[in-house]
Amino acid sequence: MHPVLLPTCCVACGVVGPRLCGPCSRSLVPARPLPVPAGLDGCYALIDYAGTGRAVVSAVKFRHDRSLAAVLAPALARVLPSAEVARTPVITWCPTSGRRRRDRGYDQAEVLARAVGRSLGLPVHRLLRRGAGAPQTGRSAADRRRPLPLVARGRVPAQIVVVDDVCTTGATLEAAAAAVRGAGAARVIGLVLAATPPPRSAGRAQATSCASRQPLQAERA
Ligand SMILES: [Zn+2]
């Protein structure tokens, strides 16, 4: 795919140019503090899953937008505290269902995890697999709250960072944490592209939570 032959356009507004134009990039809302899902020791998100953030997630999730994932990965990598990066030997991801992966031809969480790994200079390994079950997309909120079958593939390191595209209820990260803890992990950190904003009334943020107040620098092509 040659960029000269195939001009790109913004995934949010459609204007020809970078995959995320300047105005849309600036309209992304940095993720606000959220409760840490059960079983995790920290959870960090880049943007709110709302407005332009939804368009960005949709492009990564449904359109296999590797170039956008590559643009976002450095910003996503920067929301991980340096202390966590220093003691993390490997990054993994929450795998989508086998059926979803076959339908789309890729796993968006893997695409993000590998891009983040490149940004941080850390290895990325497939340490989780998903058992049989319905895909997240299209399921009711109640269904999504149910733990999903995730299984560790062999032993995992004592600390691990688990990447996912979106944190809505936290159920997927909780299932991932339970799986890797049962396989040797003592400290589990979540890292997600976007998180559902908390209700306005839930202003009591935990210290180690899905949070990024850093300016987003994702408008490079
Ligand atoms: Zn735009």
The whole-number pLDDT of residue 217 equals 44
pLDDT digits (tens, 9 = 90+) for 100-118: 777 777 888 999 999 999 9
Using the 8-state DSSP alphabet, how is residue 137 labeled?
T
Burial class of residue 18, CB neighbours in 10 A (0-12, 13-18, 19+): buried
> What mean pLDDT comes out for the span 78-84?
94
Angle at CA 212, nearest 5°, toward 206 and 213?
Answer: 105
What is the Å distance from ligand 1's center to 120 Cα? 27
CATH 3.30.70 matches 28-195: no
pLDDT digits (tens, 9 = 90+) for 165-215: 999 989 999 999 999 999 999 999 999 999 998 776 444 444 334 444 344
The whole-number pLDDT of residue 36 equals 93
Tokens encoding 36: 């840490």
> What mean pLDDT comes out for the span 9-26?
91
Sequence ranges of the domains in the chain: 28-195
d(CA 158, CA 179): 13
What is the Å distance from ligand 1's center to 58 Cα? 14
What is the Å distance from ligand 1's center to 126 Cα? 33
What is the Å distance from ligand 1's center to 163 Cα? 26
HSE-CB of 109 using CA atoms within 13 angstroms = 31
